[in-house]
Amino acid sequence: MLSLVTHSSMVLIKSGLLFSLFLSFFNSRVLSFLLFLFLLLFMAIVLNSGLIVSHDSVVYYIPFFQVETWREFEPGFTFINYIFRSAGLSAESFIYFIGTFSLFIFLTSIWKLTRSFPLFYLMLFLAFCTLSFNFLATGLLRQYLAFSIILLGCSFFYFGKKVKFFLSLFVATTIHFSSCLYFFVIFVFKLRWVNKILILIFAFLFSFFSKDVVLILLNNIPYIDNNIYVKSLVRVLGYSDKNVVHEDYFFKYFFVFISLLAVGMGKVFFSVSENGEKLINVLYSFSVCGFLVSSACYFASEASIRVLYGVAILSTLSFAALLMNSNLKNRMVIVGLVCIPFFFYSFLSHNWIVGFVNRYV
């Protein structure tokens, strides 16, 4: 199976997004949009080719050939799987559909949140430079879909469409169990900004006692036979056996914590436009909720880091919103200076993801 996730393809996508960003600053919206349409098609083909050969692919192929598998999935993902299998479609078509649909929802959600070409392209560029988005989009199929739906729910929440927001998170939870704690965003959003930062710090400190809390929950919640969500909690405990694989996880976890803390402090010290105030608040509130999920299963690095990928993306989107909505002089110059380190950092993230995705090819 051929993977198109190469150094050249990743650089082309990243460079195209950066060029689209600067075209949008010069009001060349038609040209930037045409370029983006090409990038969208190219991005879908490249990322989906990575999903087909990725490390988790075999897990998603199994249900097509053996219904009673060694591992159960949440009901939403199982239902989608059942539809494709019943229709006689191939496992590859299933993965291509999920990958393309997830990318579409991801892009649509960001556009709904921004409604601004410069901010839209900046968010995409910064997100694509990170290892987190690339890893979700080329390896973690269920979380990729669930996170995209969470981001869609974020856009509904931003516009006050509470019913669609709850429905989105419900659907995301049926695809990946970790999505359930994003419901707490309705409480986090109403808090003062300083309190959000305090919750972030509390979550970081709480992470070191997370295993004890999960054990207490499992000992006191009645076990329901064949309940997939209770089994998910048990599986989180099982993930702690893989901690040796993530010996350096603390540094990754700490880096995301510091990034979120920096965005939070930036909002305190920089004045923000009225239009951007709510957007930053919504994105940051979702980031804090995601970090709470990651901290709750910190003791099992394999489980925690999978949630942390989405948190890192939300943190990046929050940073982009803060950058574009702060009352700064020479904003275009500052954006350019910010893009330079992200551009060079992306070579490290792309180098890692290319090797990781193609190691079985």
The total of other beta-carbon atoms located within 10 Å of residue 146's CB is 28
How far, in Å, CA of 302 to CA of 49, rounded?
24
How far, in Å, CA of 8 to CA of 290, rounded?
32
CB 98 within 8 A of CB 44: no
Residue 33 to residues 38, 45, 118, 179, Cα–Cα distance (Å): 9, 19, 11, 32
How far, in Å, CA of 172 to CA of 92, rounded?
22
The total of other beta-carbon atoms located within 10 Å of residue 27's CB is 11
Residues 101 and 219 in one domain: no
Q: Retrieve residue 154's tokens.
A: 């974020």
How far, in Å, CA of 146 to CA of 7, rounded?
27
Residues 5 and 109 in one domain: yes
DSSP code string of 163-174: HHHHHHHHHHHH
Give me the pLDDT at residue 70, please: 43
Residues 167 and 189 in one domain: no
Give me the pLDDT at residue 358, please: 66
Q: Retrieve residue 10's tokens.
A: 């990743």
Residues 88 and 131 in one domain: yes
Give me the pLDDT at residue 215, please: 66
Task: Compute the CA torsion angle 343, 349, 354, 359 (nearest 10 deg).
Answer: 170
Residues 352 and 219 in one domain: no
CB 154 within 8 A of CB 113: yes
Give me the pLDDT at residue 157, please: 92
Q: Retrieve residue 313's tokens.
A: 């993306």
Residues 138 and 284 in one domain: no
The model scores a pTM over 0.75: yes
Residues 207 and 310 in one domain: yes
Q: Which of 334, 329, 323, 310 is nearest to 280 (CA)?
A: 323
What 204-207 contacts at long range (C-beta under 8 Å, 24+ apart), as own/partner pairs, is 204/257, 204/291, 204/295, 206/295, 206/296, 207/253, 207/294, 207/295, 207/296, 207/298, 207/299, 207/304
Residue 262 to residues 74, 267, 276, 293, Cα–Cα distance (Å): 35, 9, 18, 20
Residues 125 and 252 in one domain: no
How far, in Å, CA of 293 to CA of 32, rounded?
37
Give me the pLDDT at residue 60, please: 65
How far, in Å, CA of 158 to CA of 135, rounded?
27
How far, in Å, CA of 61 to CA of 206, rounded?
37
Task: Compute the CA torsion angle 63, 65, 68, 72 (nearest 10 deg).
Answer: -10
Tens of each residue's pLDDT in the chain, 361 residues: 567 777 788 888 888 888 888 888 777 777 877 888 888 888 888 887 777 777 666 666 666 655 555 456 677 777 787 787 777 777 778 888 888 888 899 999 999 988 888 889 899 888 888 877 777 777 777 888 888 999 999 999 999 898 999 999 999 888 887 787 788 888 888 888 889 899 889 888 888 776 666 666 666 666 555 555 555 555 555 555 554 444 567 778 888 888 888 888 888 887 777 778 888 899 999 998 888 888 877 777 777 777 888 888 888 899 888 888 877 777 777 878 888 888 888 777 777 777 766 665 5
Residues 338 and 301 in one domain: no
Residues 93 and 171 in one domain: yes
Residue whose entry in the numeric block shows the structure tokens 């419901």: 183
CB 76 within 8 A of CB 171: yes
Domain that residue 33 falls in: 1-175+331-361
Residues 171 and 97 in one domain: yes
β-sheet bridge partners, residue 326: 272
Give me the pLDDT at residue 245, please: 46
DSSP code string of 63-115: HHH-SS-SS---HHHHHHHHHHHHTT--HHHHHHHHHHHHHHHHHHHHHHHH-
Q: How many domains does the chain have?
A: 2
CB 30 within 8 A of CB 60: no
Q: Which of 141, 144, 138, 142 is nearest to 359 (CA)?
A: 138
Residues 206 and 92 in one domain: no
How far, in Å, CA of 203 to CA of 291, rounded?
7
